[in-house]
Structure 1
């Protein structure tokens, strides 16, 4: 079946097909868009603009540069409030089929939006991630090079997980521009165009009562002052889960979403 050209192709914008398999965006699924704006604006210094996906979405900006998306869809889709990485794919239906074939779960979608089609899924160990087919955010190449966010998979077995994601997302498949996989000790490192795009780490416990220990994709935001952000988070209803002073902190926002702050390398 031949598909109609996507909006990205028509506009000349970067499409998911050009960077397939790579983390292409991070997004917060929340219940209250205004409350999320208040919290992350105070903690991260972000400003916000409406997104072209619809009135339930906004784009977080830092110094005018797009950082992340926020969507007030957790209640509508009956999914957990969470920060989620999205991976670029050439065909959302094909990728959703691969996920199911390998004992993963597709919880939502693929759903059609103005700019493309997306789906929320979970791998075999329950870590939630998204896939996206279509136009990528404006300035995606700048977003990737600037690395305003990166992602780490905490999973039961990083090497098994790398096989799952490699088969689903065409990592290290030998095709031009595919993501490459490297092994650094007990971690798997994903690189895209020479940039570190994600890390996969072993040791998560599937049945742990603490969600911070269970398999999950964790979004990391490099910031110039971890301590200032931690103080602001506590003042605006956030919770500290783990804190290494001046270096790193894992926080929970007032709606329950986990995210990690890391010291910006200078």
Structure 2
């Protein structure tokens, strides 16, 4: 387990957050599943807590206003040195900025955007809050992947906005690209064509590290969640796609390095 680097290269996934209808019950679910503890976070957008592993912040959970009935999903945030400039670039490249840029107290400056395919993501200009502060421990985000229809067009968008280098997997039946910054893999794009869930559309998927994928999947169900894709061996380790009781999907993975 390591503390995450304090300086984030622009484009690096640096934070994940979830906005839900029932903050208290969602906190209990993730506390039981991942062992998270919680501390209050900025409340500019309503009630919000930060999740801790070993005293280090790893994720955020907020609460939707009662009158708002939006889909519940984990949001991946990508680092930027200038949220306003990045927001303008997103717009000029065919994306949409739905929220912000705005200040989150002294924590930093953020915006919520979507790429040309409709996948939602955040951008984060760090100030007091650098983002996820621990890597490699159970309960921490370990990877972020864009699940989309096809990767070629949307890859150009992310390359232009964030300066990624893209490495494609050459295969007739597998549409996959790894995004790199300074030679280091930081995220991936996965084109699934007609297999894209109709009720979700293109979306960013957060992977969380667990000690035992099968046991964690069983625990998800016991806690009122759902298994969307049963445990199976993947490129990075044994993984399963699950959802919490409000339907927010995420992937649990036991890394091959664990």
Alpha-carbon contact 1:28-1:83 (below 8 Å) kept:
yes
Q: Which residue of 1 aligns with 2:147?
A: 154
Which of the residues 84, 87, 92 maps onto 1:93? 84
Unaligned runs of 5+ in 1: 1-12, 172-179
- Given candidates 61, 67, 92, the residue that maps to 1:70 is 61
Mapped to 1, the partners of 2:131 and 2:47 lie a distance apart of 22
- After superposing on structure 2, the runs of 4+ consecutive aligned residues of structure 1 that deviate more than 3 Å are 52-55, 73-79, 136-140, 142-148, 192-195, 204-208
CA contact (8 A) 2:142 2:208 kept: yes
Q: Is the 2:58–2:131 Cα contact (8 Å) retained in structure 1?
A: no
Matching of residues 184-223 of structure 1 within 5 Å: 184-185=169-170, 186-192=175-181, 195-205=184-194, 208-211=197-200, 214-223=201-210
Change (3 A) 1:155 1:40: same
Contact 2:95–2:115 (CA under 8 A) maintained in structure 1: yes
> What is the match of residue 160 of structure 2?
167
Deviation, 1:144, is 5.6
Query: 1:259 and 2:250 equivalent?
Result: yes
Contact 1:77 1:108 in 2 (8 A): no
Q: Taking structure 2 as the reference length, what is the TM-score of the superposition? A: 0.81
Which sits farther off after the overlay, 90-99 or 160-169?
Answer: 90-99
How many residue pairs are counted as aligned between the two chains? 241
SS at match of 1:237: coil
Q: 5+ residue gaps in structure 2?
A: none
Alignment root-mean-square deviation, CA: 2.8
